[in-house]
């Protein structure tokens, strides 16, 4: 038997501390934030969204074998769920691994729940019934972030933006969350068997989210590594994590991951199903797949990628592609369909899949098995035919009471990105889009976090609700710890750039706080406000290592004589020192232009209301 995981990275991110706050409307909820303290007493602390869970508390009492605290236990207890005897674990669940290589399951004990027939239990069903769940209230408070502060703040903080038809509210209420979930425009992935979850929402009217992939492969890694990858990903800002394991011990590694995850966990059940039939796609059938869905739903997986849109009729559309089918799930299903010249069992059994997902509130992530794997194949007939099928399935899933999001590409040059987004919104009734990148060129393996970060920022701006990260190792190998961090930070940049451009009311607060710190030479504040304080500080220290330089009014780039920031500060001081007359003369020169602009911005009205 292999050793169980026993430690992960813990402790606060440099320069900040974990805080929990209660919404007034729901005093029992403890909603987590990260608060960055600033050195200037005139600057309020900046509160940021924090998916990192209890791991970033000071002295967090983490015991992986016991799992995280069960945030949702009491909420779930009131919902009429039935407690069931879980399906017995079979040897093939762990890839028939030899006893000496078996990873023990996480010993944390949890009851296993399921919805009785006819009892509404999914967030979608509650929302449709007009019920605001604890999850919705939690999410509303979490999404508001620093909006109170932003709304009380100076005019300079007012957001502008172009949201392409999204409806981002000034303030998120629990009722707003309910409405978004009810109309299928947002999901709260939250399996009833994942009580450790800190709820979060995915939807175009919420903050853009980021997913990180972890998982072992036939060649590498065990439970300890995977749990650490989970904790490491959320530390840097991953909002959900997909476990894409394809090696041995899949079932037991997953038990460690879910019991210790404060974020939704997604999987691609066909991977494990394939393992159970010795890796031969032709041996797959509905029974083994269904068995796998139930196995994973009982463990607490929050969303399933299901490639039900890869239909027999779509396969020939890929024949002349430069890179054929690049989705693993898509290629497995295409092979299955083609071999027997038969329709996909995922498509034909979609109703039954919905019934299983509904019973545990596992959200759908309808997989894009025919996504383009190269610029050449972007937006082609195969991709769009599948997207139309996904639109059809979205409606089926809603009718069955399930939550749904839609996966998107892939490799798409910049001028074809918006077409993707617009078609997805249209075909899928605004169900959340969840895209991998897209990569905007094929020529930079080793840097595909960047080729795809460009596309991710753009598609996030256009309306994508969650961005699946890409690491520097994409196309080349499995990411290590540094790659995971680089991927997450790159995607946090893309998501934040998208939030800014959409005009999210609170997004700019952090940019402005950092810019003021930069201008004031508050180096520590600049580091701590950044997405990665450790790297910012280390880079600064490479050329100006001394502590004295942390308060210096210049940096190594220009040295003291050429520092534009310093010159500007002196310049402001001079302007202040100038006599009023001189100053007025100067301002008069510029004033006409300024006033004229103000006039035009005010809508060109000659008279303004006294209230303004």
Q: If binding is defined by CB under 8 A, does position 599 make contact with a second copy?
A: no
Task: Give all strands of the β-sheet with 46-49 in edge-to-edge order.
Answer: 16-21, 31-36, 46-49
507 and 500 Cβ atoms separated by less than 8 Å: yes
Which one, of 161, 113, 115, 141, lies nearest residue 49 by Cα? 141
216 and 177 Cβ atoms separated by less than 8 Å: no
Query: Is the bond into 399 cis (omega within 30 degrees of 0)?
Result: no
The nearest distance, CB 33 to a second copy, in angstroms, is 16
**Which of 29, 192, 385, 397: binder of a second copy (CB under 8 A)?**
385
3-state SS, residue 440: coil
**Which of 225, 518, 524, 550: binder of a second copy (CB under 8 A)?**
518
Q: If binding is defined by CB under 8 A, does position 441 make contact with a second copy?
A: yes
Q: If binding is defined by CB under 8 A, does position 63 make contact with a second copy?
A: no
53 and 234 Cβ atoms separated by less than 8 Å: yes
Q: If binding is defined by CB under 8 A, does position 269 make contact with a second copy?
A: no
Q: Which is nearer to a second copy, 351 or 587 (CB)?
A: 587
Determine the interface stretch with a second copy among 1-9, 105-113, 138-146, 218-226 (rule: CB under 8 A).
Answer: 218-226
Find the Cα–Cα–Cα–Cα dihedral 72, 77, 78, 81, rounded to 10°.
110
Q: If binding is defined by CB under 8 A, does position 464 make contact with a second copy?
A: no
The answer to whether 242 is a known ligand-binding residue is yes
The answer to whether 369 is a known ligand-binding residue is yes
**Which of 184, 237, 264, 453: binder of a second copy (CB under 8 A)?**
453
Determine the interface stretch with a second copy among 99-107, 231-239, 423-431, 511-519 (rule: CB under 8 A).
Answer: 511-519
The nearest distance, CB 436 to a second copy, in angstroms, is 13
How many Cα atoms within 13 Å fall on the side-chain side of residue 108?
Answer: 30
Residues 307-336 that bind a second copy (CB under 8 A): 312-319, 322-328, 330-332, 334-335
3-state SS, residue 261: coil
Q: If binding is defined by CB under 8 A, does position 236 make contact with a second copy?
A: no
The answer to whether 436 is a known ligand-binding residue is no
Q: Which is nearer to a second copy, 179 or 499 (CB)?
A: 499
Q: If binding is defined by CB under 8 A, does position 149 make contact with a second copy?
A: no
Using a 10 angstrom Cβ sphere, with 0-12 exposed, 13-18 middle and 19 or more buried, the burial of residue 612 is exposed
Locate 101 and state its tokens.
Answer: 């290589």
Determine the interface stretch with a second copy among 101-109, 135-143, 273-281, 353-361 (rule: CB under 8 A).
Answer: 273-281
Q: Which is nearer to a second copy, 280 or 287 (CB)?
A: 280
The answer to whether 194 is a known ligand-binding residue is no
Q: If binding is defined by CB under 8 A, does position 241 make contact with a second copy?
A: no
Q: If binding is defined by CB under 8 A, does position 161 make contact with a second copy?
A: yes
The nearest distance, CB 73 to a second copy, in angstroms, is 35
Which one, of 159, 232, 189, lies nearest residue 5 by Cα? 232
296 and 316 Cβ atoms separated by less than 8 Å: no
Helix (DSSP H) and strand (DSSP E) numbers for the chain: 21, 15
Using a 10 angstrom Cβ sphere, with 0-12 exposed, 13-18 middle and 19 or more buried, the burial of residue 590 is exposed
**Which of 38, 121, 493, 506: binder of a second copy (CB under 8 A)?**
493
Which one, of 130, 39, 117, 30, lies nearest residue 82 by Cα? 117
Q: How many residues lie near a second copy (CB under 8 A)? A: 135
Determine the interface stretch with a second copy among 56-64, 174-182, 422-430, 448-456 (rule: CB under 8 A).
Answer: 448-456
**Secondary structure (DSSP) of 379-424:** T-HHHHHHHHHHHHHHHHHHHTT--EEEEE-SB--GGGHHHHHHHH
Question: Interface mask (CB under 8 A) for a second copy, residues 80-99, using x and -?
Answer: --------------------
The nearest distance, CB 50 to a second copy, in angstroms, is 15
- Distance of alpha carbon 86 from alpha carbon 442, whole angstroms: 46
Residues 555-594 that bind a second copy (CB under 8 A): 555-565, 567-572, 574-575, 582-583, 585-587, 589-591, 593-594
Binding residues for [4Fe-4S] cluster: 555, 558, 563
Binding residues: 213, 242, 271, 307, 327-329, 368-371, 407, 411, 434, 475, 555, 558, 563
């Amino acid at each position: 038997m292999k050793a169980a995981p026993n430690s992960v990275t813990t402790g606060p991110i440099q320069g900040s501390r974990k805080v929990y706050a209660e919404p007034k409307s729901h005093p029992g909820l403890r909603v987590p934030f990260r608060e960055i303290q600033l050195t200037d007493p005139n600057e309020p602390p900046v509160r940021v969204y924090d998916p990192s869970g209890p791991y970033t508390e000071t002295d967090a009492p983490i015991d992986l074998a016991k799992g995280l605290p069960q945030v949702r236990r009491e909420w779930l207890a009131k919902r009429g769920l039935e407690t069931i005897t879980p399906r017995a674990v079979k040897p093939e669940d762990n890839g028939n691994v030899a006893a000496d290589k078996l990873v023990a399951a996480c010993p944390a004990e949890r009851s296993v729940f399921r919805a009785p027939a006819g009892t509404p239990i999914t967030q979608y069903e509650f929302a449709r019934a007009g019920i605001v769940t604890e999850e919705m209230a939690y999410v509303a408070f979490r999404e508001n972030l620093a909006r109170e502060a932003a709304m009380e703040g100076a005019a300079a903080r007012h957001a502008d933006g172009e949201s392409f038809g999204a409806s981002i509210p000034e303030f998120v209420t629990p009722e707003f969350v309910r409405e978004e979930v009810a109309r299928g425009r947002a999901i709260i992935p939250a399996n009833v068997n994942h009580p450790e979850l800190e709820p979060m929402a995915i939807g175009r009217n919420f903050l853009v989210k980021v997913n990180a992939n972890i998982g072992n492969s036939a060649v590498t890694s065990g439970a300890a590594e995977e749990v650490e990858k989970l904790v490491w990903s959320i530390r840097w800002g991953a909002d959900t994590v997909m476990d894409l394991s394809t090696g041995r011990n899949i079932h037991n590694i997953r038990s460690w991951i879910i019991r210790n995850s404060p974020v939704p966990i997604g999987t691609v059940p066909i991977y494990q199903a394939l393992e159970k039939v010795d890796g031969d796609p032709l041996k797959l059938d509905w029974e083994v797949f269904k068995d796998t869905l139930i196995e994973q739903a009982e463990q607490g997986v929050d969303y399933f990628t299901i490639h039900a849109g890869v239909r027999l009729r779509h396969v020939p559309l890929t024949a002349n592609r430069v890179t054929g089918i690049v989705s693993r799930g898509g290629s497995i299903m295409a092979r299955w369909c083609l071999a027997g010249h038969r329709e996909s069992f995922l498509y034909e059994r979609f109703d039954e899949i919905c019934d299983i997902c509904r019973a545990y509130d596992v959200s759908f992530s309808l997989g894009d098995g025919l996504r383009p794997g190269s610029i050449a194949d972007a937006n082609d007939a195969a991709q769009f035919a599948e997207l139309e099928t996904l639109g059809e399935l979205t409606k089926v899933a809603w009718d069955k009471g399930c939550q749904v999001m839609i996966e998107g590409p892939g490799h798409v040059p910049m001028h074809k990105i918006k077409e993707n987004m617009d078609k997805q919104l249209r075909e899928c009734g605004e169900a959340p889009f969840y895209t991998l990148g897209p990569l905007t060129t094929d020529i930079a393996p080793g840097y595909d976090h960047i080729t795809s970060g460009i596309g991710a920022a753009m598609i996030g701006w256009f309306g994508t609700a969650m961005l699946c990260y890409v690491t520097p190792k994409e196309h080349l190998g499995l990411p290590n710890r540094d790659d995971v961090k680089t991927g997450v930070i790159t995607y946090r940049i893309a998501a934040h750039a998208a939030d800014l451009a959409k005009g999210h009311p609170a997004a700019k607060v952090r940019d402005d706080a950092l810019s003021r710190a930069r201008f004031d030479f508050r180096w520590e504040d600049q580091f701590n406000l950044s997405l990665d304080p450790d790297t910012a500080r280390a880079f600064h220290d490479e050329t100006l290592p001394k502590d004295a330089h942390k308060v210096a009014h210049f940096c190594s780039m220009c040295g003291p004589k050429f520092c534009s920031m310093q010159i500007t500060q002196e310049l402001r001081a001079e302007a202040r020192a100038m006599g009023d007359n001189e100053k007025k003369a100067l301002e008069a020169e510029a004033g006409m232009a300024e006033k004229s602009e103000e006039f035009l911005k005010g809508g060109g009205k000659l008279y303004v209301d006294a209230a303004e």
